[in-house]
Amino acid sequence: MSPLLASSDDLSLLTPIPLVLHPAAVYLDSLSESSQSTMLVSLNAIARLVTNGQCDAMTLDWAKLRYPHTAAIRTALKKRYSPTTASKMLCGLRRVLKEALRLDLMSASDYAKAVDFPSITGQRKLRGRALSESEITALFQVCRDDPSRQGIRDLALLAILRGAGLRRAELVALSVNDFTPDGGILQIRQGKGDKERTVYLPLSAVEIVNRWLDLRSRTRGALLCPIRKGGAICFRHLHSDAVYKILAKRAGEAAIESFSPHDFRRTFCSDLLSNGVDLVTVQKLAGHSSPDVTAKYDRRGEEAKQKAVQSLSIPF
Q: What is the pLDDT of residues 232-290, one digit of tens each?
A: 999 999 998 999 999 999 999 999 998 999 999 999 998 998 888 989 999 999 989 88
Torsion angles phi and psi, residue 239, rounded to 5: -75, 145
Neighbouring C-alpha atoms within 13 Å toward the C-beta of 199: 29
The three state secondary structure string of 7-37 is CHHHHHHHCCCCHHHCHHHHHHHCCCHHHHH
E strands in 124-170: none
139 has pLDDT over 60: yes
Q: Which residues contact 208 (CB under 8 A, 6 or more apart)?
A: 155, 156, 159
1 has pLDDT over 50: no
Mean pLDDT of 167-172: 93
Q: Which residues contact 145 (CB under 8 A, 6 or more apart)?
A: 151
Q: List every span in the chain annotated with CATH 1.10.150.
A: 8-114
Which residue, among 241, 244, 255, has the nearest Cα to 137 in the 3D structure?
Answer: 255
Burial call 46-55: b when 16+ CB within 10 Å, e when fewer:
bbbbbbeeeb
Q: pLDDT of 110-132, one tens digit each?
A: 999 999 998 887 655 556 788 99
- Identify the pLDDT of residue 9: 47
Question: 3.30.390.30, 3.40.190.80, 1.10.443.10, 3.20.20.370: which CATH number matches 136-261?
Answer: 1.10.443.10
- Identify the pLDDT of residue 6: 44
Mean pLDDT of 283-311: 78
For the ranges 132-141, 260-269, 301-310, the lowest mean pLDDT is seen at 301-310
Tell me the average pLDDT of the chain.
Answer: 87
150 has pLDDT over 50: yes
Q: List every span in the chain annotated with CATH 1.10.443.10.
A: 136-261
Band (pLDDT 50/70/90 cuts) for residue 316 is low
Burial call 57-89: b when 16+ CB within 10 Å, e when fewer:
bbbbbbbbbeeebbbbbbebbbeebbeeebbbb
- Identify the pLDDT of residue 13: 59
Mean pLDDT of 23-31: 90
Q: pLDDT of 207-247, one tens digit each?
A: 999 999 999 999 999 999 999 988 999 999 999 899 999 99
> 3-state DSSP call for residue 252?
helix
Q: Which residues contact 103 (CB under 8 A, 6 or more apart)?
A: 21, 23, 26, 63
Higher pLDDT, 28 or 300: 28
Neighbours of 268 (CB within 10 A): 22
pTM: 0.65
Dist. CA 224–CA 153, nearest whole Å: 7
- Identify the pLDDT of residue 274: 85
Question: 3.90.550, 3.40.50, 1.10.150, 2.60.120: which CATH number matches 8-114?
Answer: 1.10.150
40 has pLDDT over 80: yes
Dist. CA 140–CA 68, nearest whole Å: 55
Tell me how long the chain is: 316
Band (pLDDT 50/70/90 cuts) for residue 71 is very high
Ramachandran category for residue 287: left, alpha or beta (phi over 0 → left; psi -120 to 50 → alpha): left
For the chain, the maximum distance between any two Cα atoms, rounded to a whole number of angstroms, is 75
The three state secondary structure string of 76-137 is HHHHHCCHHHHHHHHHHHHHHHHHHHHCCCCCHHHHHHHCCCCCCCCCCCCCCCCCCHHHHH
Highest-confidence segment of 10-19, 33-42, 77-86, 206-215: 206-215
Band (pLDDT 50/70/90 cuts) for residue 3 is very low
188 has pLDDT over 90: yes
